[in-house]
Structure 1
Amino acid sequence: MTTTMRKEIAEQPAAIQATLDALLPRTGEITALAEGTRHVLFIARGTSDNAAVYGRYLIETRAGRLTALGAPSVATAYRRRLDLDGVLAVGLSQSGRTEEIVDTLRWARDCGARTIAITNGGESSPLAQAADLALCTLAGEERAVPATKTYTTQLVALAVLAIGLGADVDPGELRRVPEAVAALIEDPGDIGAVVDGLAGKAGLVVSGRGLVYSTALELALKLKEACYLHAIGLSYADLLHGPIAVVDADTPAILVAAGEGPVLAGTVALARRVRDAGASVYAIGGGEELAGAATAALRGPELPEWLAPLGLIVPGQLLTEALARRLGIDPDAPRGLRKVTQTG
């Protein structure tokens, strides 16, 4: 049986292409709205918060703007007013209907920020209506509870946002993403070997650094949601500061890396250290060097580091869906979860 999650994973190249076609021509609107702002504040929860981590690293490393991940509770629970003059606040919600995110974006505007919404909910969604500018993704309806195509199209919107903020990147490289994602869906690598290695485990660590840290967080979340694993998403810098002690023969690691960039060598060194400690290491991306240091490996995208997260999550999504089925879990409707989460 083909799950809805698996069907929606396969829809990602078309969803990414449609979102690119809609949003790339709008970078000028972003530039105009952001004129006079210095900082970027992301407002999100869950999968959208993981996407925001990508936006944070991309904008800081390529656009030279300080960014922060906002705490919605400051607005909705503590009801504190802050001086947000000079801030560009970006609210992310796949549905555009998460009340906490909508309320926090309105709060940011009332505190002096200029506001952008990133949502798959369309221009009529509450989040889009609350923003000065809405960047609406075109993933289409997503019926499986674990987000797949809505997440990757959020990353596209964040890449477009970074371009609008003056990122030192080649916008034309974004056009390579749909094909790169399609190639990974067609041949992600040895999914079966990784499923075999994880099927009997209660927990694992998922780690990456820099631009791909977002991928580690998102994959860990997916494995929690759909496979009920105790999955910890960590930067490998944080992992080395103590939590590496939890990695052993019963707790494997998944390491995520782009095929280039300043953190690749450290990821390879970590893979060797973990294997020397007697634990299994599963790689996603990182090229031949990381694959050679791993117990088994999944492919990464043929994309530059700044776009690698748009592809790296795809083998992780396929792994999550396959592992859930191996464990006898329906990945389309994990227990205790709904498509739109409201927080008090």
Structure 2
Amino acid sequence: MTSQMRAEIGEQPDALARTIGALLPRLPELAALAAETRQVLFIARGSSDNAAVYGRYLVESHTGRLATLAAPSIATAYRRRLDLAGVLAVAISQSGKTEEIVESLAWAAACGARTVAVTNGAGSPLAESAEVALITLAGDEIAVPATKTYTTQLAALSVLGLGLGAAVPADDLRRVPDEVARVIARTEASPALPEIVEALAAVPGAVVSGRGIAFGTALELALKIKEACYLHAMGLSYADLLHGPIAVVDEQTPALLVAADSGPTLAGTIALAERVEGAGARAYGVGGGPLLAAACSAALPGPALPEWTSPLGLIVPGQIMVENLARRLGLDPDVPRGLNKVTQTN
């Protein structure tokens, strides 16, 4: 029986096409805000925070602007006023109803920031409070683990990057929906999928690692493993992993290594796979092309996309793997225990 999560994974090509088509015409609005700001502050929690990590790397690597992740507690718990003149505050929330995120964006505006919302909730409090609302067109998402709302957030952040001056072709973004459809088909046909699922079903947890543009994907994949499969999963930059936590990688704790098929962090990811395998543990690749696959015990295919747009497709084989793993463990991936679609924090 097909889970709702799997059905929504399959809806991503259409959701991405709708979202990209609707948001690319908004570039002039974003460029106007860019002209009046110099740095970017991302405000988010959960999967949206992992999307924000992608946004941060995209902005800093392709627009030359400083980008940081906000600590919403400064606004909502400590209630400290900061000087945010010249800051573009970008709040990201699937529903647009998370009170902490709505309050934090209002706080940023009161501190002098210009504001953008990224949400699937048209007419939501977050959308209504922002100067520019980038509404994703994912449609209703029923399964609790975010899939299409996450990838459409990444699409919105890609458009934001273009609006802030990223010197990359918009056509790279237009290619994404068709490539995601191909990734879905290739992943489900890959013999590596059942091999990796069986391997993970036999261990208590895994380390998930990537770097740079792919780091947010590693964090999101680790979150999905924890949410839907109840396994321990540590999401780390491979630079941080090498500083000590690599000691946890062993026969009972494999490494899932995430990378685009090209870019400056691919060589380091391959070297990490070789080190893990050389130590007698297992490395499983997600993306990274044939070079990463050759260094791993098994690897899922990634998208044939430029590095800057690769996260929009790179998470998809991970989503499929998680959905299969949850069912293999006898779990319902649609309704993880203890979780709701909208999470409120104080």
Which interval holds the TM-score relative to the shorter structure? over 0.9
Residue 219 (structure 2) pairs with residue 217 (structure 1) = yes
User: Which residue is 2:241 aligned to?
Assistant: 239
User: Per the alignment, in what secondary structure is the counterpart of residue 277 of structure 2?
Assistant: helix
Residue 282 (structure 2) pairs with residue 280 (structure 1) = yes
Q: Which runs of 4+ in 1 moved over 3 A?
A: none
Alignment of 1:11-50 (within 5 A): 11-50=11-50
User: Which residue is 1:342 aligned to?
Assistant: 344
Letter of the 2:42 partner, please give it.
F
In structure 2, how many angstroms separate the alpha carbons of the residues matched to 1:26 and 1:13?
A: 21
Q: Deviations over 1:286-323 (max 9, x none)?
A: 11110001011100101000011111100000000000
Alignment of 1:288-307 (within 5 A): 288-307=290-309
User: Which residue is 1:99 aligned to?
Assistant: 99
In structure 2, how many angstroms separate the alpha carbons of the residues matched to 1:297 and 1:33?
A: 41
User: Which residue is 1:148 aligned to?
Assistant: 147
Letter of the 1:262 partner, please give it.
P
In structure 2, how many angstroms separate the alpha carbons of the residues matched to 1:11 and 1:215?
A: 19
In structure 1, how many angstroms separate the alpha carbons of the residues matched to 2:324 and 2:25?
A: 37
Structure 2 residues not aligned, in runs of 5+? none
Alignment of 1:66-145 (within 5 A): 66-122=66-122, 124-145=123-144
Letter of the 2:135 partner, please give it.
C
Residue 157 (structure 2) pairs with residue 158 (structure 1) = yes
Residue 8 (structure 2) pairs with residue 8 (structure 1) = yes
In structure 2, how many angstroms separate the alpha carbons of the residues matched to 1:35 and 1:64?
A: 13
In structure 2, how many angstroms separate the alpha carbons of the residues matched to 1:278 and 1:198?
A: 16
Q: Is residue 219–residue 317 contact of structure 1 (8 Å, CA) maintained in 2?
A: yes
In structure 2, how many angstroms separate the alpha carbons of the residues matched to 1:34 and 1:215?
A: 26
User: Which residue is 2:265 aligned to?
Assistant: 263
In structure 2, how many angstroms separate the alpha carbons of the residues matched to 1:127 and 1:167?
A: 26
User: Which residue is 2:229 aligned to?
Assistant: 227
How many positions carry a matched residue from both structures?
A: 343
In structure 2, how many angstroms separate the alpha carbons of the residues matched to 1:172 and 1:28?
A: 17
Q: Is residue 283–residue 297 contact of structure 1 (8 Å, CA) maintained in 2?
A: yes
Letter of the 2:27 partner, please give it.
T
User: Which residue is 1:174 aligned to?
Assistant: 173
In structure 2, how many angstroms separate the alpha carbons of the residues matched to 1:195 and 1:125?
A: 38
User: Per the alignment, in what secondary structure is the counterpart of residue 187 of structure 1?
Assistant: helix
User: Per the alignment, in what secondary structure is the counterpart of residue 324 of structure 2?
Assistant: helix
In structure 2, how many angstroms separate the alpha carbons of the residues matched to 1:127 and 1:8?
A: 24
In structure 1, how many angstroms separate the alpha carbons of the residues matched to 2:288 and 2:105?
A: 37
Letter of the 1:53 partner, please give it.
V
Q: Is residue 199–residue 327 contact of structure 1 (8 Å, CA) maintained in 2?
A: yes
Q: What is the Cα deviation at residue 34 of structure 1?
A: 2.4
Q: Deviations over 1:177-206 (max 9, x none)?
A: 001100011111321010011001111000
Q: Is residue 34–residue 114 contact of structure 1 (8 Å, CA) maintained in 2?
A: no
Q: Deviations over 1:75-117 (max 9, x none)?
A: 0000000000000000000000000000000000000000000
Structure 1 residues not aligned, in runs of 5+? none
In structure 1, how many angstroms separate the alpha carbons of the residues matched to 2:99 and 2:43?
A: 12
User: Which residue is 1:198 aligned to?
Assistant: 200
In structure 2, how many angstroms separate the alpha carbons of the residues matched to 1:172 and 1:11?
A: 21
In structure 1, how many angstroms separate the alpha carbons of the residues matched to 2:4 and 2:276?
A: 35
Letter of the 2:165 partner, please give it.
G
Match for residue 255 of structure 2 among 250, 253, 256: 253
Q: What is the Cα deviation at residue 172 of structure 1?
A: 1.0
Alignment of 1:43-62 (within 5 A): 43-62=43-62
TM-score computed with the length of structure 2 as normaliser: 0.99
Q: Is residue 180–residue 311 contact of structure 1 (8 Å, CA) maintained in 2?
A: yes
Q: What is the Cα deviation at residue 29 of structure 1?
A: 0.5
Match for residue 314 of structure 1 among 312, 316, 322: 316
User: Per the alignment, in what secondary structure is the counterpart of residue 208 of structure 2?
Assistant: strand
Q: What is the Cα deviation at residue 33 of structure 1?
A: 2.0
